[in-house]
């Protein structure tokens, strides 16, 4: 998120570098998708590092799409598309001194309890948004610090993910706990494997006297 029109060279370079770092982490970049301001710069940075970029466009006019957007999503919703940007993101970054559009996205993020990082925002904006959303607003002075914050926030989100709590119930002593949020496919696979582990049948064998001697797993369920 950031200015869509007037953009100084410092903010342009910051956005470009941020896009590069996001791509290098293997993350998907979601932005407003236009060929102007922070949106264009951050997408170009991500593409220069081989990243995947998604643009949420406010109008039907396809001429406004940045050349560095891989997946343009045309909403024709005007400023209402800001809420899509917010709710579709894990963590949001406001880069530089944006205008009313950026301010609305930050406010929407706070209201939706989404973490937002203010990267080189004005001191007035930092004070205001930190006051109304202190639990979800974070300050960063450069792209490196912003990326470090995102890693911490994603790790914290992963720790509280429902599947992580489920797996914790079946955690075996001595096993290394999971530290990253799994993808949706992995979540399904892990849920299935662990539920099978919990509910797997046991075969009881008896000795010659008819007493239960021991139990063992069916061969096809051994791991």
Q: How many Cα atoms within 13 Å fall on the side-chain side of residue 58?
A: 13
Q: Which is higher by pLDDT, 67 or 97? A: 67
CATH 3.40.50.450 at 9-157, yes or no: yes
Instruction: Spell out the domain ranges in the chain.
Output: 9-157, 162-221
User: What share of the chain has pLDDT > 90, as a percent?
Assistant: 48
Q: Cα(46)–Cα(34) distance, rounded to whole angstroms?
A: 14
pLDDT of residue 217: 43
| 53-30-66 Cα angle (round to 5) | 55
Q: Cα(137)–Cα(153) distance, rounded to whole angstroms?
A: 11
Of 45, 29, 3, whose CA–CA distance to 150 is shortest? Answer: 29
Q: Does residue 39 carry a pLDDT above 80?
A: yes
User: What share of the chain has pLDDT > 70, as a percent?
Assistant: 70
pLDDT of residue 176: 55
Which two tokens mark 50? 């081989």
Q: Cα(187)–Cα(181) distance, rounded to whole angstroms?
A: 9
187, 193 contact by CB (below 8 A): no
- What is the tens place of the pLDDT at every residue in 115-150? 999 998 888 888 999 899 888 999 999 999 999 999
Q: How many Cα atoms within 13 Å fall on the side-chain side of residue 123?
A: 0
Place of tokens 């466009």: 57
- What is the tens place of the pLDDT at every residue in 176-191? 555 455 555 555 555 5
pLDDT of residue 157: 72
* Candidate ranges 39-53, 95-109, 125-139, 160-174; pick with highest mean pLDDT: 39-53
């Amino acid at each position: 998120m950031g200015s869509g029109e007037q953009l100084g060279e410092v903010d342009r370079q910051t956005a470009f570098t941020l896009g590069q770092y996001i791509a290098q982490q293997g993350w998907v970049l979601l932005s407003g998708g236009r060929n102007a301001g922070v949106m264009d710069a951050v997408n170009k940075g991500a593409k220069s590092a081989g990243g995947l970029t998604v643009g949420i466009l406010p109008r039907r006019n396809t001429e406004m799409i940045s050349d560095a957007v891989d997946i343009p999503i045309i909403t024709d919703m005007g400023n209402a598309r800001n809420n899509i940007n917010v709710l579709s993101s894990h963590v949001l970054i406001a880069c530089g001194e944006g205008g009313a559009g950026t301010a609305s996205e930050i406010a929407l993020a706070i209201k939706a309890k989404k973490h937002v990082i203010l990267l080189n925002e004005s001191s007035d904006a930092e004070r205001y948004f930190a006051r109304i959303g202190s639990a979800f607003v974070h300050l960063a002075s450069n792209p490196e610090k912003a990326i470090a914050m995102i890693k911490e926030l994603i790790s914290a989100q992963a720790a509280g993910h429902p599947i992580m709590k489920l797996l914790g119930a079946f955690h075996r002593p001595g096993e290394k706990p999971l530290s990253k949020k799994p993808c949706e496919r992995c979540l399904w696979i892990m849920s299935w494997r662990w539920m099978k582990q919990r509910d797997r049948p046991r075969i009881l064998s008896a000795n010659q006297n008819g007493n239960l001697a021991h139990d063992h797993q069916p061969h096809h369920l051994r791991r």
